[in-house]
Amino acid sequence: MTNQINPTKESIKALAASYPKDTPVTMLNILRFKEQVDDGSESGLSAYRRYGAQAQTHVKKVGAKVIWAGEVMHTVIGDAAHQPHQILLVEYPSVDHFLKMVLSEEYQAITHDRTMALEYGGLLACQKLAK
């Protein structure tokens, strides 16, 4: 879990083309913070907290909400040496709501804090299973 922080243009296009329209999407954020940002001025966690505080405005603006956030305490199965630090679930009314947010100029203006904070920032688009 390293060096994967920002989506590619191809991954955004694929998401837009393949995710069912008018269906809620839950974005699973898998976060591993840098010990220090590259210039050494602060911790990755500190930079991410700043990003998170700013991102809340954008999340709410598109009708999304954080449905769960937590600290990873122990890896039971997997690479414990590189386990994520936090997991975050954000539910959007649809993939179009998510894309509207992440592609907006206002949101893009705050992503530098996220980029400099993370060693790894996995993002998985998840659909709830039918009962």
Please, what are the domains in the chain?
A: 22-126 (3.30.70.100)
Q: Which of 93, 90, 95 is nearest to 21 (CA)?
A: 95
Task: Show the tokens assigned to 112.
Answer: 């530098």
Between the alpha carbon of residue 33 and those of residues 43, 71, 118, the distances in Å are 8, 12, 4
Average pLDDT over all residues of the chain: 95
Please write the tens of the pLDDT for every residue from 11-35.
Answer: 999 999 999 999 999 999 999 999 9
* CB 44 within 8 Å of CB 34: yes
The pLDDT, as a whole number, for residue 130 is 86
The pLDDT, as a whole number, for residue 3 is 58
pLDDT band of 4, cuts 50, 70, 90: confident
Please write the tens of the pLDDT for every residue from 95-104.
Answer: 999 999 999 9
* CB 117 within 8 Å of CB 45: yes
Q: Which spans in 4-117 are helix H? A: 9-18, 44-61, 95-103, 105-108, 111-117
Please write the tens of the pLDDT for every residue from 69-83.
Answer: 999 999 999 999 999
